[in-house]
Amino acid sequence: MLLKDMAAGQACIVESIDLPFQMERRLEALGMTRQTRISVINRKGQGILIIKLRGARFALGCQITGRITVRKAGEGA
């Protein structure tokens, strides 16, 4: 499942990030690594999300959320 498909209020676990190298490293520096739990706080249009990641809030555009694979929190690996 892609991050852009998550609904507001849902929590998920990052499975993989398929972004250009520098953008992927920037997200990792902010704390978004594989197996990290994130919560979707709000949806702002097609794939634009406000997420909570390690206690901080971030807004991510649809070009980013469409390339991050997640699984719902609580589902098996």
Residue 43, burial from CB neighbour count under 10 angstroms (0-12, 13-18, 19+): middle
pLDDT tier for residue 40 given thresholds of 50, 70 and 90: very high
pLDDT at site 45: 81
Give the span between the Cα atoms of 14 and 50, in whole angstroms. 15
Distance in angstroms (rounded) separating the CA atoms of residues 77 and 59:
26
Considering only 23-32, 33-42, 44-53, 64-73, which range has the smallest mean pLDDT? 44-53
Confidence check: pLDDT of 76 > 80: no
pLDDT at 54: 93
- When pLDDT is cut at 50, 70 and 90, the band that residue 46 belongs to is confident
Mean pLDDT of 34-48: 92
Q: Is the pLDDT of residue 77 over 60?
A: no
